[in-house]
Structure 1
Amino acid sequence: MNKAAIIVAGGRGTRMGSPIPKQYLEIGGKPVLMHTLEVFYQLDPSIKIVLVIPATDFPLWDELCHKFGFGVSHEVVAGGKSRFQSVKNGLDSLQWEEGLVAIHDGVRPFVSPEVVALSFEKAQLHGSAIAVVPLKDSIRKLTDENKSFYQERQYFRLVQTPQTFDLKMIKQAFDVTELHHFTDDATVYEHQGWQVHLIAGNSENIKITTPEDMEYAQFLLQRNS
């Protein structure tokens, strides 16, 4: 079974307040993005890794790979104007007729290898496998009338990546016009009328977005070292 991982990293670092996009900031002595790619490579070196970044970032990425002696084999593909377009570009770069593809945020370097492996296993069985975690806090639903209502949190999950799919199915799903409610790959898949299959993610699998996230990332690296 052919396996691929599309790592999407098109952020500009606005919320981080950094002149360098967050995916290129260093944690543990190397850029965030390198930690992410290594998770997939170390799990299975045969996984084809496709890195989708803005075309304008290609020289910076080449420079960083040389600087840090980064040897993980991967293909670099130019991203689009939106995440949807970037993922579609990554999918279009895969020439296989059949296989499995994990789509993952480049700034989630702490996804566990066990979650990635499980996502491939369940996607082969069900067509999709979406990593999620339960909520810890109570939640309320806001209305347009400025009211709020209690919600049973056990009926909700926080969605992470990887989101792993049968390649043929997800390519078909992305062969549509982009819609505003396509907030992730699962919503694109669901648009075809298909039910997504959920799997347990890991709580450390944070999306690094703010300076506080960087501090927590440093803590996780030190704890795991």
Structure 2
Amino acid sequence: FKLKRWIDQFQCSICRDVFTVPVSTPCGHNFCKACISGYWDTTSQSQCPLCKHTFYIRPELKTNTTLRDVADHFKRKRVRDESLHRLFCRTDQMCVCQFCTETDHKTHHIVHLEEECGERKAQLGKMDAQVQQMIQERMQKGWEIKHSVELNKRDAEREITDSMQVFTDLVRSIERSQAELIEVVEEKQEAAEKRLLKAMFSEITSGKLCVCRLNRKLPLLPTDCQQPVIG
């Protein structure tokens, strides 16, 4: 934790890397010259990214020579340390130097860093292939589900259309049967009315004939029995 805080002292809060040409603002904070200049170029006013202090006139930035020298020394030391740690301890999962393999990591499983990187890359490649395959399978499954939903939707629409057609045909059949029934009833009613009228006319005709025969027979009756015929 202390080492991290020590390293943070030489890191620019904008680029999060070791200072390159460190400069100080009037509020006392340090940044890479390119970082703070670029930051101010993209804002409407000159403001400290850390304390948010606003400078109404863009200040002239001066190189912090002390911090620059320390940062340069830290960079050189980091490059030198990184060049030494070309081995990897699989037991502790960390980079080590040749001296460490003969002391603290003497009984551990040590391999060259390039070998470990190669194996890690191979594992990542395998994992990436598996992820890509899983994505393809999920996409294929999604397409199949979508296709199935579309088929079910079309089947449902076709079933609704067929049902509506059956219902329409049934209604038409009922309407046609109703019309035929009405026609039959009307024909029967008309025939019954004709028969009734024919019977009435027949009775009237028979009655008239009977009256005529009676009128012809009246003169032949005895005088004392004869009654005047009305009509």
Question: Shorter-chain-normalised TM-score: which range?
Answer: under 0.3
TM-score scaled by length of structure 1: 0.16
Larger RCO (alpha carbons 8 Å, 6+ apart): 1
TM-score scaled by length of structure 2: 0.15
Greater strand content: 1
Greater C-alpha Rg: 2
Greater helix content: 2
